[in-house]
Amino acid sequence: MDDTYRPIRVGYQGIPGAYSEEALVAFQETAEPVSFRTLPDLFAALTEGIVDRAFVPVENSQAGSVVEAYDLMLDHKVTILAEWIQPIDHYLLGVKGASPAVVERVFSHPQALAQTAAFIRQAQLDTEPYYDTAGAAQMVAERGDQRFAAVASRLAGERYGLSVLAEGIQTAKDNATRFFLISAGSYHFSPAGSPASGEGKTSLAFSVAHRPGALVRALSCFAREQVNLERLESRPSRREPWQYMFFTDACGYAYEPPVHNAIRELTRLNPFVRVLGSYPAAGIRRSGAAAP
């Protein structure tokens, strides 16, 4: 038997230097980061067993949900194992010798552009979305044009030889991104559960019948059990026109009686309910950086 230690392989979206890589290392420094160009590529690799886990950005405190991530969680059989919340610090990066005054166009991931919109508007810069923050930094470095800049992390700037033209350009100083650590395979509920220290969360998706009061009845399942819901978001079901899926995070572990009873009643009332995972609630780090 080969007892050689192999670090867990965790995939992230973006090229080396992406915020997601930086956040992954902060979350689990012993993991082996594996980069994938897009979120669909990442989820496909997880399903095929190319990586052991996926580290996925799902929500930003200012720009909102990464809707593609939630759609992909429904398209694949996956389980949320943990969450990680980390502050973001955005940098405007340009080629060596450039100055902020000569920059005309900024490239970055749409989420990063949204998170720095006030700075970009005040500087009167044109923007162009790019698939990844670090990818934008690499592209700017390769073009070598002083009129181009990227919004990315300091790590990306160091990796691709760019200069910091401005730092801390995020609109909100308490800007943070939430990540999920995800494994392949559907969530399996254990009635007994396993006691865990600290607070828990349970993420789930559900649909409701197309009739008056259906959503109210669904939410009442949690209200009757005194279960707090931290968020509720609707997305087109993509299975039937003008039908919607609802995503929510319930406070508490799925094995705890109030949460368990609420989900059981929700399942009885509605055509589709899927628990995506039950995991320890994350605290907010006060230093570091993370973004899609």
Q: Tell me the C-alpha distance between 120 and 212, whole Å.
A: 44
**What is the dihedral angle through the alpha carbons of 257, 259, 265, 268, rounded to the nearest 10 degrees?**
-110
Q: What is the phi/psi pair of residue 70, to 5°?
A: -70, -40
User: Is 179 annotated as catalytic?
Assistant: yes
Which whole-number Å values give the CA distances from 278 to 74, 92, 205, 211, 259, in the listed order? 16, 37, 13, 30, 10
79, 177, 202, 248: the active-site residue: 177
- Please give the distance of CA 42 from its chain centroid, rounded to a whole number: 12
179, 222, 246, 247: the active-site residue: 179
Going by C-alpha positions, the residue among 109, 110, 130, 132 that lies closest to residue 14 is 132
Tell me how many helices (H) and strands (E) the chain has. 9, 15
**Would you please indicate which residues are annotated as catalytic (active-site) residues?**
177, 179
